[in-house]
Homo-oligomer: A and B are copies of this chain.
Amino acid sequence: MISSRIGRTLLKVIIPASLICTLLLIAQQNGAWSAIRSGHRSTTSTGGQLYHPKPHQNGTRENAAFVVLVRNDDLTSMRETMQQLEDRFNRKFGYPWIFLNNEPFDEKFKEFTSGLATGDTYYGTFDESMWGYPEWIDQDKARAARDDMAAKGIIYGGSESYRHMCRFQSGFFFRHPLLDDFDYYWRVEPHVKFTCDIDYDPFTVMREKQLKYGWTISIKEYVETIPTLWETVKNFINEHPDHVVPKNDPESLLGWISNDGGESYNLCHFWSNFEIGSLAWLRSKEYLDYFNYLDRAGGFFYERWGDAPVHSIAAALMLKQSEVHWFYDIGYFHNPWYQCPSEPEWLPAEKCSCDPDNSFDKHWYSCTPEYLKVTGKQRTDYLIAQRN
């Protein structure tokens, strides 16, 4: 199905995407919730119409936060990422940061992240219900699957903690109590870069345009990590036809993830190391039914299902095109790929440090050209940044 050349490329793609996960090596299962609140304390053209997010009143923000799954050892790269996101966006807005970890954060991590944040900082751990084996998983079978995938040289095929991470990001982070008060999240990871000034509030865009999911980079998945995922999804669709947008609906995104009307998955997904999303959507009965269905099937442990295809398939099946937004003008880097806007021409020159000629959205391995084709849009339709 997939040539060895593509396989090798996928290996190169998966490695960086999975960086944070490898660092979460020990799936230590803490026995209790932990939620520490730190004491430290535009325009888009859509169909030719101009959209301007309304300015915030003094001191008001959306109910939104950054969410980071990170471990203590990532402190320095986390701080570099924080400093960039504060510089490019948050120093003008002051949104809070929520840090999650399967082990307790140490004092230095808390002091050195809260010190850089313009908003409040929260530090949470979670228990085995979010980072462990459900009762229906055969752990011997899971171990054998890991050994088998490791022997085949599948990237992170042998890693247990990577699987816990993917399941956590697929089905649990949005149910962590620290997120209870928020409506929107912005997923951030250490090691990523934000390269363009963001002078508007993406959370306001989410609310005003009634968006459910926002992304920057799209790419194809490594097929050997998800051999039965699509069959499982199809079974879910058959059992819950009411949960998905009808495939003949002009607003359907199915055509972006399947080239044959849903028979097979074309491996396209949004790179989930960056996400701006609606927590209400992830908490919805529809999404939870979907996650629970996948979770019961066991592929998070018997295969190595990633949260990127899991989220992306859900978005493509359950959301309308108009509920999904490409944050085209948010310059973003996750090793080794950049999203760097190229038009209008003033944008990269005046607001970004990335090279638009090196943007992944025009790369042959990106799924973004197909996304534009399916949605019938062009890059500038997703533009919100304004020239000062």
Q: When the two chains form the complex, which single residue of B76, B87, B115, B354 contacts A76, counting CB atoms closer than 8 Å?
A: B354
- Separation of A251 and B82 alpha carbons in the complex (Å): 43
The reply to whether A355 and B115 form a contact with Cβ atoms under 8 Å apart is: no
Is A112 an interface residue, CB under 8 A from the partner?
Answer: yes
- In the complex, what distance in Å separates the CA atom of A339 from the CA atom of B115? 19
Binds B, one of A150-158, A284-292, A343-351: A343-351
Q: Mark A92-112, 1 if CB is under 8 A from B, else 0.
A: 000000000000000000011
Give bound CA distance, A116 to B346, whole Å.
11
A75 touches B355 (CB 8 A): yes
Number of copies: 2
Whether A139 sits at the interface, judged by CB under 8 Å, is no
A159 within 8 A of B: no
Residue on B nearest A193 in the bound complex, by CB: B80
A353 within 8 A of B: yes
Knowing A75-B355, A87-B87, A355-B75 are in contact, say whether A112-B349 is a contact too (CB < 8 A).
yes
| CB–CB A111/B76 < 8 A | no
Task: Please indicate the chain B residues that have their CB under 8 angstroms from the CB of A195 in the complex.
Answer: 80, 83
Q: Which residues of B contact A80 (CB under 8 A)?
A: 195, 353
A71, CB-defined interface residue at 8 Å: no
A164 at the interface (CB under 8 A from B): no
**Is the CB of A79 closer than 8 A to any CB of chain B?**
yes
Taking a contact as CB atoms closer than 8 A, the residue among B83, B348, B353, B354 that contacts A353 in the complex is B83
Write out the residue numbers on chain B whose beta carbons fall within 8 Å of the beta carbon of A82.
353
Measured CA separation A87–B82 after assembly (Å): 13
Assess whether A112 is in contact with B354, with CB atoms less than 8 Å apart: no
Given contacts A112-B348, A115-B346, contact A353 B76 (CB under 8 A): yes
Please, which residue of chain B has its CB at the minimum distance from the CB of A197? B83
Partner of A79, one of B76, B83, B346, B353: B353
Q: How far is the CB of A388 from chain B (nearest CB, A)?
A: 11
A75 to B357, CA, bound (A): 12
Per the bound structure, the CA–CA distance linking A252 and B361 in Å amounts to: 59
Which residues on the B side are within 8 Å of A346 (C-beta)? 115
Set of chain B residues within 8 Å of A355, measured between Cβ atoms: 75-76
**Distance A354 CA – B77 CA, assembled complex (angstroms):** 9
**What residue in chain B is nearest A75 (Cβ atoms)?**
B355
Assess the B76–A349 pair: CB atoms within 8 A.
Answer: no
A3 CB → nearest B CB, Å: 31
Apart from A76-B355, A83-B195, what are 17 other A-B pairs with CB-CB below 8 Å? A75-B355, A76-B353, A76-B354, A79-B353, A80-B195, A80-B353, A82-B353, A83-B87, A83-B353, A87-B87, A112-B348, A115-B346, A115-B349, A115-B350, A116-B349, A116-B350, A116-B353
Please name 23 pairs of A and B residues whose Cβ atoms are closer than 8 Å in the assembled complex, sorted by A: A75-B355, A76-B353, A76-B354, A76-B358, A79-B353, A79-B354, A80-B195, A80-B353, A82-B353, A83-B87, A83-B195, A83-B353, A87-B87, A111-B349, A112-B348, A112-B349, A115-B346, A115-B349, A115-B350, A115-B351, A116-B349, A116-B350, A116-B353
